[in-house]
Amino acid sequence: MGYSKEIWRKALQTLDASRARAQNEADARRAALYDAIPQMRSIDRALASTRIDAAKAAISGGEQTPMLIERLRAENEALQTKRAGLLAQAGLPDDFLKIHYACPVCHDTGYIGQKQCACLTRLLRKIAYQSLSDACGIDDCRFETFRLDYYPDAPCGPYKIVARRAMEKIFSFCKTYADGFTPQSESLLFYGGTGLGKTHLSLAIAYEVIEKGFGVVYTTSQSLLDKLQAQQFSRAPSDAADYQALALECNLLVIDDLGAEFSTAFTVAALYNLINARIIERRPTIISTNFDETVLRERYGDRILSRLLCTYRPLQFCGEDIRMLKRYAQQ
């Protein structure tokens, strides 16, 4: 599964609008030209008439058909020459009256026969980028903007960990993961304190995966579980049902800030079902959390924790709160 239905809907609506705009602009140019050069209207009507007459002649057949078609072809060419001369006299290009589509290859339909046009591929990717930025409220979380100099380069803590060295390894792993991503890539668990770059690197991976043409869903745990709960307890049809299917079937699911949601028996069960279903289907998920193993067990139980620790690759983020460091630097 690639992009969501909503992204496809927006892309096709954009193409429809582009196609309609191009047609309306051509109609406006034509109307203005007819007002300025009335003879052009007569020529276009005559051209349309010769085409219709040629089609009728070809269908009817008969001994005189070849001669009739040849005469109509000569008339058409003479009219085309006269038309081009009038456009040239007015200082206008030969294609002035043609429809100028944004994509001259597919005429803003998105397809060349049964094949998807490159313009639609680019548009889907652009909308996916925007959707990701809108969902997370951040648009600069790329590998290129991740700064390792925020992490201490000296041993700290009871285990004397050098945060910068540890984060260099995590950064390198995440970049390699994104570069080689497939729909069967392994799942990742980012854990550690607040402000250590977990969201930044999960989004950096997401942007790279979108660039490869895969479908990505980014969500906070609170938003995810709110939508799943709405689908569960609402009798009226809603987009939540589509969202549940999308969360299950997307190429990469990113769940940010696990543990920040209001926890209930339903949310724990819904989270377990989602994680378990994606594990069974071998679909990769990236989960980030500020909690350690002890708190995760207390909050979600052994069933969820065992799946996270046994089927996800855990990556522990360390260092100092970068948000606070940036804030102090601005003072």
Per residue in 225-281, pLDDT (tens digit) is 888 887 776 654 554 446 677 788 889 999 999 988 888 888 899 899 999 999 999
CATH number given to 138-330: 3.40.50.300
pLDDT for 136 equals: 66
Look at strands 187-191 and 161-162 and give their pairing: unpaired
Q: What is the mean pLDDT of residues 102-119?
A: 94
Instruction: Please provide the average confidence, as pLDDT, over all residues in the chain.
Output: 87
Confidence tier at 104 by pLDDT (50, 70, 90): very high
- Tell me if 40 sits within 8 A of 79, measured CB to CB: no
DSSP 211: H
Every domain of the chain and the residues it spans: 5-116, 138-330
Least confident of 22-26, 28-32, 48-52, 158-162: 158-162
pLDDT for 159 equals: 67
Q: Name the percent of the chain lying above pLDDT 70.
A: 92
- Predicted model pTM: 0.70
Confidence tier at 1 by pLDDT (50, 70, 90): very low
223-230, long-range: CB < 8 A, 24+ apart = 223/135, 224/255, 224/261, 224/274, 225/261, 225/267, 225/270, 225/271, 226/261, 228/267, 228/270, 228/274, 229/266, 229/267, 229/270
Q: Under DSSP, is residue 217 helix (H, G, I), strand (E, B) or coil? A: strand
Q: What is the mean pLDDT of residues 218-224?
A: 88
